[in-house]
Amino acid sequence: METSQNPEYPAGVPLLEAAQVDVVRGGRYLLKDVSLTVRAGEHWAVLGANGAGKSTLLSLLGAVEHPTAGAVRVLGRQLGKVDVRELRAHLGHVNPRHPLRSPLTVRQVVLTGVTQSIEPDPFRKPTAEQLDHAEELIHTLGVAHRADSAWTTLSQGERGRVLIARALMPEPRLLLLDEPATGLDLTAREQLLESLDGLRRRFPEVASVLVTHHLEELPETTSHALLLRDGLVTAVGPAAEVLTTELVSDCFRHPIRIGHSEGRWTARTRRDAP
C-alpha cells in the first residue's frame, strides 16, 4: 500500500497538530489546553481513566468534532477552514462499535472503506484494483478464511481485524483506533496486536493514534504516548519516557507499577506504596 502523494499535503508537514485545544460542552471542560503533534510513521497511545477525554480528543483528530478554542490541523489543514469530508478521505477511523446490522460478507464490509459508508453504495462498483487491494488487506489481517462469511457470524476479534482492513482501503496517512481491543478475549487481543505490529512494519509511513486505558493493549510498535486526566495532559512524548511508574500512577491517581518486557507493557498495583 502506498500513501497518497497529494501535493496539497507536502512532505514534512505533521499529519496532526493540536495546539492549546479546549473542548467545552454544557459549561464543562472535556479537554483543556491540550497540545499534540503526530508525524508520519509515529504510533501514539492515548491513555487515561474513563472520562479523561480520550475519545473526545480522537474525535478532534479524526475531524469529527471541532474545538471550542485552540487550533487543530489535520494534514496541514485547519479545522473550521476546510471541508472535513476532504480530510476524512485521508484518515482511517476504526470504531469497534461499527453500527452494521445487515449480513454483509467480510469482503463487502472491507470494500465499504472505499466510500466510508456503512452499507455498499449501489451506484458505485469497486474497480479491479480495489478488489485486489481488499483481498490483500483481508489476507494481511488474517481473516482470509472468513472472506465470504457474514459480518453477523464473526467473533468480536475477527470484527476488529476486518474493521482495520476496512479503514486501510482508502490508503490513509493516519489510522485512528478507538479502544480496538474492547471485549476481546486473550487470544483475540494478541492476534489483533500482532496484526497491528505487522501492518506498522509493512507500511512505515502510516501513522496511528490508539486510545485505550489498558497498557496491556499497546502494540510493541508504540512509539509515543500521551496521558490524560480530567481533560488535561499530564505527560506527553516518547513512550519510554511517558509510560513510567511515576507518571502513570499520577495520571490514574493510583499507585501503579509499570513493567516493560519484550516490547510490551504491564501494569500492577504497587504493594510498596504508602
Residue 271 pLDDT > 80: no
* pLDDT for residue 44: 97
Q: How confident is the model at residue 7 (pLDDT cuts 50, 70, 90)?
A: very low
Residue with more model confidence, 89 or 201: 201
Q: Looking up cell 476488529, which residue turns up?
A: 160
239 CB-near residues (< 8 Å, 6+ apart)? 45, 218, 222, 223, 224, 225
pLDDT 10s digits, 204-214: 888 999 999 89
* pLDDT for residue 53: 93
CA distance 149 to 138: 12
* pLDDT for residue 62: 86
User: With the C-alpha atoms ordered 77, 58, 219, 235, is the resulting torsion angle positive or negative?
Assistant: positive
pLDDT 10s digits, 146-191: 999 999 999 988 998 999 999 999 888 899 998 888 888 899 889 8
CA distance 271 to 180: 30
Q: Looking up cell 516493560, which residue turns up?
A: 260
Q: How confident is the model at residue 3 (pLDDT cuts 50, 70, 90)?
A: very low
Ordered by where they begin, the domains of the chain are 1-90+174-274 (3.40.50.300), 98-171 (no CATH)
Average pLDDT, the chain: 88
19 in Cβ contact with 36 (< 8 Å): no
pTM: 0.87
Q: How confident is the model at residue 9 (pLDDT cuts 50, 70, 90)?
A: low
pLDDT 10s digits, 73-84: 988 888 888 777
Query: Among 28-42, 53-67, 79-93, 177-191, which range has the highest average pLDDT?
Result: 28-42
* pLDDT for residue 233: 97
Residue 266 pLDDT > 60: yes
pLDDT 10s digits, 92-135: 888 878 888 888 999 999 999 988 888 888 888 899 999 999 99
Residue 198 pLDDT > 50: yes
